[in-house]
Amino acid sequence: MPRHFLTGAELSRDELDALLDRALQMKREPLAATPLSGRAVALIFEKPSTRTRVSFEVGVRELGGQPVVLRSDEMQLSRGEPLRDTALVLSRHVAAIGVRTGEDRIVEELARHSSVPLVNMLTAGHHPCQALADLLTVREACGTLDGVRVAYVGDGNNVARSLAVLGAIAGLEIAIASPPGYSLEGSLELPEGAAGSVTLTEDAREAVRGAQAVYTDVWVSMGDEATADQRRAALSSYRIDDALLDAAAPDAFALHDLPAHPGEEITAEVLYGERQRIWDQAENRRHAQKALLELLVSP
Ligand code: CP
């Protein structure tokens, strides 16, 4: 059975710790390991991407492999070929498959029929590759994840859910502040026995108290455009600015998975200033995903 990575809950705490160690090693020596030598990885994009596409494409090459980027509207999928058949055929050619799509059931169906590892590169419910980079960034900054408090302020979306799932596995203390109607309440399943904790609140200041990292995401995610005005109104006070960082732990830093909308969920002063690790976080996508791919394709 191949090992898939659909929500992040597939990893134990020890595996996640080892993966982050390995990612840091790969960051220091990006060309030292070639576990994908002579092999290809299919990367299917049904939605736009900058970071995910470039970090996977370059990362696969650094691992000695060949990325095969497929836009789903150019595949037979767009003409009705079943997900099952797509998974069966791709499995005959590539060592792993990455998928960015909408509904979670699509990656679940592809994974069911794939005989090679399937990686969720973003769905409506989850963004676990982003969370790996988030954890790597916090670990680089704090030296550990054990008991470190990370606050997330904003929409209770796929990024928040994956941060909660993987952060809890890793031993983080996560606090998520969202307005009524935008909370993860009722839709967050944490792995049994997770070492860390997740608390949900409506109060951004309460969430950031004692937090070493303060994280946010856009008010209007891909697929939410129809409700953009309502979202902007509901989320307008959920913004990272200097005052919110002042209410967190001393030397707290900002995180954002990007793309950002400066002036909405984060101020330009924070986004481009000294109190953030956002650009490191974007770079860490590549290192974390390389360590993940190595783990998944290794016998
Ligand atoms: N954070 C993230 O997934 O960025 P892209 O949408 O650019 O891939």
Q: In the chain, which residues have pLDDT < 50?
A: none
Residue with the smallest CA separation from ligand 1 atom 7 is: 50
Per-residue pLDDT, 299:
83
- Name all residues whose Cβ lies below 6 A of ligand 1: 49-52, 122, 130, 257-258
pLDDT of residue 240: 98
CA of 21 to the centre of ligand 1 (A): 23
Q: DSSP E strands: which ranges in the chain? A: 40-45, 66-71, 96-100, 118-120, 149-153, 173-177, 197-201, 213-216, 253-256
Ligand 1 geometric centre to CA of 50 (Å): 6
**What domains appear along the chain, each with residue ranges and CATH number?**
13-126+284-297 (3.40.50.1370), 129-281 (3.40.50.1370)
Mean pLDDT, the chain, whole residue set: 97
Q: Which atom of ligand 1 is nearest to the CA of 52?
A: 8
Q: CA-CA distance, 69 to 60, in Å (whole number)?
A: 11
Contacts for 244-249: CB closer than 8 Å, 24+ residues apart: 244/153, 244/204, 244/205, 244/208, 244/214, 245/208, 245/214, 245/270, 245/275, 247/205, 247/208, 247/209, 248/151, 248/208, 248/209, 248/210, 248/211, 248/212, 248/214, 249/149, 249/210, 249/211, 249/212
Counting from 1 in the atom list of ligand 1, the atom nearest the Cα of 50 is 7
Residue nearest to ligand 1 atom 4, measured at CA: 51
Residue 23 CA to ligand 1 centre (angstroms)? 19
130 contacts 152 by C-beta, under 8 angstroms: no
Q: Are the CB atoms for 77 and 51 separated by under 8 Å?
A: no
Give the CA distances from residue 218 to residues 134, 264, 275, in Å, rounded to whole numbers and listed in that order: 16, 8, 19
Closest CA to 296 of 111, 100, 72: 111
Question: Of 222, 164, 214, 152, which is closest to residue 188 (Cα–Cα)?
Answer: 164
Q: Are 82 and 55 in contact (CB under 8 A)?
A: no
* Residue 253 token pair: 């830093």
Could you tell which of 46, 47, 49, 266 is best to mutate to test the pocket of ligand 1, judged by most ligand atoms within 8 Å of the CB? 49
- Ligand 1 atom 3, closest CA: 52
- pTM for this one? 0.98
- 180-234 pLDDT tens trace: 999 999 999 999 999 999 999 999 999 999 999 999 999 999 989 999 999 999 9
Question: How many angstroms separate the CA atoms of 16 and 51, rounded?
Answer: 22
Atom of ligand 1 nearest to the CA of 122: 3
209: which 2 tokens? 């108290």
Looking at the CA of residue 129, tell me the nearest atom of ligand 1: 3
Q: Which atom of ligand 1 is nearest to the CA of 55?
A: 8
Encoding tokens for residue 206?
Answer: 């309460």
